[in-house]
A and B are shown apart, each in its own frame.
Chain A
Amino acid sequence: MLKKVLFHNQDKTQLFIAVLGSIIGMVFLISSIHYLIRVNEFGKGEEILGPNTMIIQKKISNSSSLNISKNDFTKEEIERFKKESFVADAQAVICNNFNVLLLTDDKLVPKFSSDVFLQTVNTKFLDVSGEKWQWSEGDTIVPIVMPRDFLVMLNTFMSASGIPQVSEDLAKDIKFKLRISNETKRDFITAKIVGFTNEIPSLLVPESFMNYANQKYATEKEKKITNVMISSKEGEFGEMEKFLEERGLESRKSQVIIGKLKSIVSTLFIVLLVISIVTVLVSGLVLIQYMQLLIVNNKYQIRTLLRLGYKPKKIIMKFTKYLSSIFGLVSIFSLGLFFIEKLLVDGLFEKGGISINTSISFISLISVFISFCIFALVSFIVAKRKILNEFFS
């Protein structure tokens, strides 16, 4: 009966407009948060290098080929890179200073060996757990990260030998050996693949192993640093690209393209997110405004109920519940529309060759819940203020 009294005078057109605005805002909000997360996740897991990370080197020119200009980095240069506002970190890539041969050491795989080049980077640039990426003197197995191109080469060899090709997961179980040597001595150590990379053309080994082997088998005193691993801060890839261009530095094209694409799409989704938040706020305000109007239109009814002895809290809760249930329906309907929209957008991404994770991101669902809670709280505060005003009038 209370509902019949309190929600008698309603402007359904205004309610419809407010609900429509809220649905549009909520769909935008859920979509922008979801795709912002998914785009930022793009490429994760496939690449052992951390996000926004690349290896840079100085552009090779005719003069550097003729040894007129330097193409190595000094420690001071690396320190200067670190001081740039958009640089998260920069570290020298250390190379082997001895001879290395990679051999298969598995009964199931034919004999295969190749001279390889080892490099090491600081663990913080790698998406690999610390436990897997450890080596200390005396350990019999050294973890390695293999270039994917190397696996392709290995598979070509396996195929030619009449042996089925191996997947990345299977390759991790194949036993390998590293033969490290100099002109006077040599040693064998078992190697185990822990990950793959598209970005580095050499085998990656832990820093501790490289230091140990360089000390024990070094053929030269100190090798020049020709590669630097650098990671940019989230969303500041544009600055990084400009910086590389100005300093005559270069990186693998794929790294630049993916980084640039992610940066552009992320920026677009951030803009969309801001617009969505504004839209949700405005539509939420329209709904709150609608509630205020409803309270004003039903001022007589509210006042009469209070005069009859009804508790203000009961009436406040009635309005809060009513508006919250409308917003709840808006949220459910928006989620439904988002699922439909997601099917279309995911299809577009797929067509464009971008395979993003298609599962619903938890944070976008949480954003709906948070929006609902904020709206319910604001509704309660507004209803309380308006209804208590009527108590002594």
Chain B
Amino acid sequence: MNIHFSKVIPDPLASISHSSQSIWKSNFTLDNTLDKRVLLNASSGKGKTTFSNLLVGIRKDYSGNILFNNVDISSFSVEDWVNIREQKISIVHQDLQLFLNLSAIENILIKNELTQTFSIEEIEIFLKQVNLFDKKDQTVATMSMGQKQRIAIIRALCQPFEWIILDEPFSHLDDENSKICFDLIQNRCFEINAGFILTSLDPVEDFQFDKYLKL
């Protein structure tokens, strides 16, 4: 699925000046067959979360045009967005959007049961990979931010997708866990021929990307 931005500017950012390299008000295309790994790097308040939210239809307050496979997303109905959120674009929100009263495994299963993408055994392998298997039945409310981030990443992987948006997913992870999670995401994307867009406050030098975007 290719994503095309044509002079897009979110309403709240319209009064702020943006650099010439900024994607706001410019034209660009992201094609998951060419640009599998995209880094969106910007300082605070430049619209990283807004960018993520525009792509999953959470926000509609913008001018310009966003096209998915040449179709303007402003014409999408609720059913279209349900399909996109369920099958085409997965997202790890910056605030993680976990259910605090559910356990780690329940938070993942509630997403997985929509599409039955993985079996419980496969999910447990993911949990083992991110060193959270022993915490699977622990309520998310009692977990650290780093643990919650890893749960949110695994949950986002539990669906079919063509793009996965990761809004500052490693902000509370150490280098080792960041690497584990990055590899997990990258491997899954290669496996299903999908792309990922990772947003970050700082330049990410440890990982390889195919395309770099700025705000």
Chain A residues in the interface with B (C-beta under 8 A): 1-2, 4-5, 8, 301, 304-312, 388, 391-393
Does the CB pair A4–B102 fall under 8 Å?
Answer: yes
Chain B residues in the interface with A (C-beta under 8 A): 56-60, 78, 81-82, 85-87, 91, 93, 97-99, 101-102, 106, 109-111, 113-115, 155, 159
Across the A-B interface, the 8 shortest Cβ-Cβ residue pairs: A309-B86, A309-B85, A304-B97, A308-B111, A8-B101, A311-B82, A5-B99, A309-B114
Q: Chain B's nearest CB lies how many Å from the CB of A358?
A: 51
A18 to B114 CA separation, bound complex (whole angstroms): 34
- In the complex, the answer to whether A309 meets B159 with C-beta atoms within 8 Å is yes
By CB atoms of chain B within 10 A, which of A301, A391, A392 has the most?
A: A392
* Shortest Cβ gap from A47 to chain B (Å): 63
- A5-B110, A307-B93, A309-B159 known; A391 and B99 CB under 8 Å? no
Alpha-carbon distance between A312 and B56 when the two chains are bound, in angstroms? 15
A175, B155: Cα distance in complex, Å: 91
**Known pairs A1-B102, A301-B99, A392-B60; A307 contacts B78 (CB<8 A):** no
- Pairs A–B under 8 Å by Cβ, sample size 23: A2-B110, A4-B106, A5-B110, A301-B99, A304-B97, A304-B98, A307-B56, A307-B58, A307-B85, A307-B91, A308-B85, A308-B97, A308-B111, A308-B114, A308-B155, A309-B85, A309-B86, A309-B159, A310-B114, A311-B82, A391-B81, A392-B60, A393-B58
Are B82 and A5 within 8 A (Cβ)? no
Closest to A9 in B: B101
| Cβ contact within 8 Å between A308 and B60 | no
Expressed in whole angstroms, the Cα–Cα distance for A98 and B93 within the complex equals 103
Residue of B nearest to A305 (CB): B110
**Min distance, Cβ A274 to any Cβ of chain B, angstroms:** 41
CB distance from A305 to the nearest CB of B (A): 8
Which residues of chain A are near B86, meaning CB under 8 Å? 309
- Complex CA–CA separation, A392 to B82 (angstroms): 11
Chain A, residue nearest B101 (CB): A8
Complex CA gap A4/B139 in Å reads 13
Q: Which residues of A contact B113 (CB under 8 A)?
A: 1
Residues of B within 8 A of A310 (CB): 82, 114
Residues of chain B within 8 A (CB-CB) of A306 are: 85
- Complex Cα distance, B58 from A391, in Å, reads 7
Min CB distance B18 to A, Å, is 25
Residues of chain B lying within 8 A (CB to CB) of residue A305: 110
B159 / chain A contacts, CB cutoff of 8 Å: 309
A310 to B79, CA, bound (A): 10
B87, closest chain A residue (CB): A309
Residue of A nearest to B82 (CB): A311
B82 touching A309, Cβ below 8 Å: yes
A392 touching B57 in the complex, CB below 8 Å, given contacts A308-B110, A309-B159: yes
Chain A residues contacting B115 (CB-CB under 8 Å) are 309
CB distance from A88 to the nearest CB of B (A): 56
Kindly state the separation between the CA atoms of A318 and B172 in the bound complex, as whole angstroms: 35
Are A391 and B78 within 8 A (Cβ)? yes
Q: Which residues of B contact A391 (CB under 8 A)?
A: 78, 81
Most buried by B among A2, A308, A310, A311: A308
**Complex alpha-carbon distance, A311 and B113, angstroms:** 13
